[in-house]
């Protein structure tokens, strides 16, 4: 099939820019957007690609926190971009979960919790699905970001050193990680943002190895144990894969949890006669159904509206106008601390 006229125009610009330009896209982007990306990945891969890239400009097809992470990683140790820049074709594409935590509230929670047990280090672990100011608080207190692809490693790293963890913003990701690492449910205490002291007593804090911020991905959190029962009944021989942003009671009933890359890799490695039920964003599940060469069913189709905002028209418009509203610039005063937390993750 011939490429669309829009894609042809974008490709003309891409040829003109050559290696000075990199287009990155997340797995939840539409297939037509994916078709014009130089690389597609999960949050961890995209962070690594941004960190390694020498491109002058990165066009990021994804949501705000991803483009911000790329901007943090292209800066030098002094926070200067040295003529390099990150552009988000859909500048209003955010992440509702990232917006469930802000820097001042995380700082206040950290101060309250650390004061309860000053001799045990309280280390923030912040999901990359967070705003730059939250990453900066994390870096300032010796913490690390994590993704759904490396969360077990990051959490284990700090727990093994005897630290207590303050994990934000996704309560479900960290609860799934702790369950999969073999910790009892009593090892996790939930910090409720709206309540004084997060609604926790000093005893509950002292008992916990990890304090979970009460944020979530509204899309993945909508999965229920009923969805699993219905899918298992309909496809009894299928393996069930789910993203770890799903609630723990749901994810515990799956055969595997994994990042978007983890899900893709599991399906690609499997024999061609295998059948899968996949619980994550529908743009990716649809693409897997068409391209993976295996039989795939959606656990229940769920769509991330923000991820779906990027279009070919907007990508073309970035090339034509380089409109400043699409230019992603993390404030200079946040970059140094935010960079510490992201670089620690990449080093772990």
Between 50 and 307, whose beta carbon lies closer to ligand SF4? Answer: 307
Give the three-state DSSP class for 193: coil
Q: How many residues does the chain have?
A: 348
CA distances from 231 to 83, 248, 251, 276 (A): 51, 17, 13, 10
Q: Rule CB under 6 A: is residue 217 a binding residue for ligand SF4?
A: yes
Candidates 29, 129, 171, 176; binder of ligand SF4 (CB under 6 A) is 129
Q: How many residues bind ligand SF4 (CB under 6 A)?
A: 13
Candidates 129, 130, 131, 171; binder of ligand 13P (CB under 6 A) is 129
Q: Which does 344 bind (CB under 5 to 8 A by kind): ligand SF4, ligand 13P, none?
A: none
Q: Which residue, chain included where needed, has tokens 């961890």?
A: 44
Site string for ligand 13P, 224-263 (x = CB under 6 A): -------------------x-x-------------xx---
* Distance, CA of 260 to CA of 214 (rounded, Å): 23
Candidates 10, 22, 40, 63; binder of ligand SF4 (CB under 6 A) is 63
Q: Which residue, chain included where needed, has tokens 């219905």?
A: 230
* Distance, CA of 162 to CA of 15 (rounded, Å): 52
Between 175 and 259, whose beta carbon lies closer to ligand 13P? Answer: 259
* Distance, CA of 156 to CA of 139 (rounded, Å): 18
Q: Which does 88 bind (CB under 5 to 8 A by kind): ligand 13P, ligand SF4, none?
A: none
Strands 275-279 and 239-242: parallel
Q: Rule CB under 6 A: is residue 130 a binding residue for ligand 13P?
A: no
Between 213 and 319, whose beta carbon lies closer to ligand 13P? Answer: 213
Q: Rule CB under 6 A: is residue 168 a binding residue for ligand SF4?
A: no
Q: Rule CB under 6 A: is residue 144 a binding residue for ligand SF4?
A: no
CA distances from 46 to 133, 273, 308 (A): 20, 31, 18
Candidates 24, 113, 177, 219; binder of ligand SF4 (CB under 6 A) is 219
Q: Rule CB under 6 A: is residue 145 a binding residue for ligand 13P?
A: no
Q: How far is CA 202 from the centre of its chain?
A: 31
Footprint (CB under 6 A) of ligand SF4, residues 303-322: 304, 306-307
Q: What is the CA radius of gyration of the chain?
A: 20
The packing angle between helices 332-347 and 64-74, to 10°, is 90
For residues 246 and 172, the answer to whether their CB atoms sit within 8 Å is yes
> Which residues neighbour 49 within 8 Å (Cβ) at sequence distance 6 or greater?
22, 24, 39, 41
Least spacing, CB of residue 215 vs ligand 13P, in Å: 12
Q: Rule CB under 6 A: is residue 85 a binding residue for ligand 13P?
A: no
Q: Rule CB under 6 A: is residue 49 a binding residue for ligand 13P?
A: no
**Sign of CA pseudo-dihedral 49, 55, 60, 64:** positive
Q: Rule CB under 6 A: is residue 345 a binding residue for ligand SF4?
A: no
Candidates 10, 33, 55, 97; binder of ligand SF4 (CB under 6 A) is 97
Q: Rule CB under 6 A: is residue 282 a binding residue for ligand 13P?
A: no
Q: Rule CB under 6 A: is residue 147 a binding residue for ligand 13P?
A: yes
> Which residues neighbour 338 within 8 Å (Cβ) at sequence distance 6 or greater?
72, 132, 133, 135, 136, 138, 139, 330
Q: Rule CB under 6 A: is residue 250 a binding residue for ligand SF4?
A: no
What residues make contact with ligand SF4 under the rule CB under 6 A? 63, 95-97, 129, 217, 219-220, 245, 281, 304, 306-307
What residues make contact with ligand 13P under the rule CB under 6 A? 27, 42-43, 129, 147-149, 217, 243, 245, 259-260
């Amino acid at each position: 099939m011939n490429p669309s006229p829009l894609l042809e125009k974008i490709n003309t610009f891409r040829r003109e820019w050559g290696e000075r330009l990199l287009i990155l896209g997340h797995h939840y982007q539409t297939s037509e957007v994916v078709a014009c990306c130089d690389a597609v990945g999960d949050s961890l891969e995209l962070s690594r690609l941004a960190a390694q890239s020498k491109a002058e400009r990165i066009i990021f097809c994804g949501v705000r926190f991803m483009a911000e992470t790329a901007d943090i990683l292209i800066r030098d140790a002094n926070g200067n971009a040295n003529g390099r820049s990150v552009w988000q074709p859909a500048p209003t594409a955010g992440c509702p979960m990232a917006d469930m935590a802000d820097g001042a509230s995380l700082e206040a929670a950290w101060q309250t919790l650390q004061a309860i047990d000053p001799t045990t280090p309280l280390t923030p672990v912040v999901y990359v699905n967070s705003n730059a100011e939250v990453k900066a608080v994390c870096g300032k207190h010796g913490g690390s970001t994590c993704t759904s692809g490396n969360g077990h490693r990051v959490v284990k790293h700090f727990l093994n050193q005897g630290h207590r963890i303050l994990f934000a913003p996704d309560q479900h990701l960290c609860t799934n990680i702790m369950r999969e690492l073999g910790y009892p449910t009593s090892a996790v205490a939930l910090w409720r943002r709206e309540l004084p002291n997060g609604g926790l007593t000093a005893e509950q804090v002292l008992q916990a190895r990890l304090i979970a911020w009460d944020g979530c991905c509204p899309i993945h959190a909508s999965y229920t144990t009923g969805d699993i029962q219905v899918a298992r009944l309909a496809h009894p021989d299928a393996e069930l894969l789910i993203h770890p942003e799903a609630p723990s009671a749901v994810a515990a009933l799956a055969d595997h949890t994994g990042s978007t890359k983890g899900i893709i890799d599991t399906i690609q490695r499997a024999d061609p006669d295998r059948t899968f039920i996949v619980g994550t964003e529908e743009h990716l599940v649809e693409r897997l159904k068409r391209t993976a060469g295996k039989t795939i069913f959606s656990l229940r189709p769920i769509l991330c509206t923000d991820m779906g905002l990027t279009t070919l028209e907007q990508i073309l418009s970035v090339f034509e106008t380089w409109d400043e509203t699409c230019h992603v610039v993390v404030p200079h005063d946040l970059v140094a601390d935010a960079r510490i937390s992201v670089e620690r993750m990449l080093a772990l």
